Amino acid sequence: MFPAASRKPPSTSMNSASHERSPMCVQGDSGLVLTTDPKPRLRWTAELHDRFVDAVNQLGGPDKATPKTIMRVMGVKGLTLYHLKSHLQKFRLGKQPHREFNDPSLKEAMDLHRNTASSSRIMGRSMNESLHGTEALRMQMEVHRRLHEQLEVQKHLQIRIEAQGKYMQSILEKAYQTLAADQGLGYNKDQVGGDQVGFVQDTMGFHDLQLFGGGDLHLDNLHQVHLNQPLDHGLYLTPNDHPSSALIGKKIMATSHDPYITNPNEKSPFNWDDEDDDDDNLHVGKQEELHQNIGNIAPGLIDAAAANGRRMVVDVYEAKPMISNAGGSEGSTKMDRPSPLRDHPLSMEGINAMLIGGSFAQ
């Protein structure tokens, strides 16, 4: 019923090694699929790959797992260390962000999908082969429950990180306002320490991104920034730093076109209704307060920045129209929506929808 070698979910085919067209496949009695060309090569079917991924996850991730331990855990006859070594290496590389995927949230969704839903595929396949209906169903439900849980954790984590960021932001602002008030002038570089002003700018810049870019931006970007060694070091803008600060600006723009941000009015399986009103009011209020503050702060900082030739910082500020129109928030970018808290779960819903849809699409 489930042909072993054909329909593979897109994620595994992207990352597994089995792209190569092998003319004919036979299924040996060890359960391995070997090709019939002169040099029999192992075919990494979806099922085998799923078992592989499971074994790797059991062992604590691709960095911790070794071919030997994987072999032991998988317990598949005919599988040699060489097979595993090369497959593990490809798997590890495959876990790095693919250049093909431009969209960070898609990539993250793929990761999540691949790793947590793989067992559901195994369940799906073995279901028809060996198990009774109810038992299989229970297992599938278990898997979906786990998946759901994982998403819940992610969602809540985002909210909590944001809240902490907001709070830190407010403390920092108050501290700088006090500082400014004490000195009577705007930010005197010498007082704070020339370097520090730069860092205030930098950190403020970063936290503006956190606050106004929405939760998914935050997580995705951090995720990407930390994994994407080559380009994205633009979190902290130091004078010698590169144009990746502009990249951050672009990322903000990009996510507003994120296909996974669904219609705000769509009813989501995860019920956010009870929080809507509160969040809307709060966020509007808070944002305005912050806009004003930033409006006060920004010109002084931007002057300092320009004076130091820190073009990069100004780039970031320009990428966010609300800053340069100090106080005006009619920009149509994503960050200006009154309820960033609402936005991000919707993109998560989008991801979730894809995942649930995807995992059923066997």
Partner 1 sequence: MLLMEVIMEEAGAFSGCSSTTAVGDRANFMYDWNEWETVSAEEWALLPSAGVVADDFHELVEAMMFSTGDDVFQGPSAVGLESVSHTASYNSSPSSMASSEDEAAVVSRDDKGARLVDLLVAAAEALEGPQKCPELARVILVRLKELVSQAAATGGATSMERLAAHFTDALQGLLDGDVGGGGRRKGSVRHSADALTAFQLLQDMSPYVKFGHFTANQAILEASAGERRVHIVDYDIAEGVQWASLMQALVSRPGGGPPPHLRITAVSRGGGSRAVQETGRRLAAFASSVGQPFSFSQVRLEPDGERFRPAGVRLVKGEAVVMNCILPPTTTTSSGSTQSVASFLSCAAAIGARLVTLVEEEAEETPGEAEPVVEQKGSFVGRFMGELRRYSAMWDSLEAGFPMQGRARGVVERVILGPWIAGAVGRAYKEAVSGEQKEGRWGEWMAAAGFGRVEMSCFNHSQAKLLLGLFNDGYRVEEEGCNKLVLGWKTSRLLSASVWKPPLPPPPPPPPCLDSSPLPLPLPLPLPLGAFDSYEISDFFYD
Closest among 43, 99, 51, 50 to 72, alpha carbons compared: 51
176 contacts partner 1 (rule: CB under 8 A): yes
| Alpha-carbon distances of 32 from 75, 79, 80, 325, rounded to whole Å | 12, 8, 11, 64
174 contacts partner 1 (rule: CB under 8 A): yes
Closest among 101, 107, 34 to 351, alpha carbons compared: 107
d(CA 125, CA 104): 30
269, 349 contact by CB (below 8 A): yes
For residue 36, the 8-state DSSP code is -
Determine the residue type at 66: T
- Binder among 135, 278, 303, 318 for partner 1 (CB under 8 A): 278
Site string for partner 1, 290-329 (x = CB under 8 A): ----------------------------------------
276 contacts partner 1 (rule: CB under 8 A): no
141 contacts partner 1 (rule: CB under 8 A): no
Closest among 204, 213, 194, 202 to 172, alpha carbons compared: 204
Instruction: State the minimum distance, in angstroms, from the CB of residue 55 to partner 1.
Output: 18
Choice between 159 and 353, CB closer to partner 1: 159
d(CA 293, CA 216): 25
Helix and strand numbers, DSSP H then E, in the chain: 15, 3
d(CA 337, CA 345): 14
Segment contacting partner 1 by CB under 8 A, of 45-53, 130-138, 167-175, 295-303: 167-175
Tell which positions 187-206 bind partner 1, by CB under 8 A: 192-193, 195-196, 198-200, 202-203, 206
Instruction: State the minimum distance, in angstroms, from the CB of residue 60 to partner 1.
Output: 9
Instruction: State the minimum distance, in angstroms, from the CB of residue 340 to partner 1.
Output: 13
Q: What length is written for the chain? A: 362
Choice between 18 and 120, CB closer to partner 1: 120
131 contacts partner 1 (rule: CB under 8 A): no
Number of residues that bind partner 1 (CB under 8 A): 55
- The SS3 call for residue 334 is helix
Instruction: State the minimum distance, in angstroms, from the CB of residue 343 to partner 1.
Output: 15
330, 92 contact by CB (below 8 A): no
d(CA 79, CA 76): 6
282 contacts partner 1 (rule: CB under 8 A): yes
156 contacts partner 1 (rule: CB under 8 A): yes
- The SS3 call for residue 262 is coil
280 contacts partner 1 (rule: CB under 8 A): no
- The SS3 call for residue 110 is helix
Tell which positions 217-246 bind partner 1, by CB under 8 A: 219, 222-223, 226-227, 233, 235-236, 238-239, 241-242
Choice between 50 and 162, CB closer to partner 1: 162
Per-residue b or e along 267-287, where b marks 16 or more CB atoms closer than 10 Å to that residue's CB: ebeeebeeeeeeeeeebeeeb
- Binder among 141, 175, 185, 306 for partner 1 (CB under 8 A): 175
Segment contacting partner 1 by CB under 8 A, of 33-41, 247-255, 267-275, 315-323: 267-275
Which residues are at the interface with partner 1 (CB under 8 A)?
Answer: 63, 149-150, 152-154, 156-157, 159-164, 166-168, 170-172, 174-176, 178-179, 192-193, 195-196, 198-200, 202-203, 206-207, 219, 222-223, 226-227, 233, 235-236, 238-239, 241-242, 271, 274-275, 278, 282, 285-286
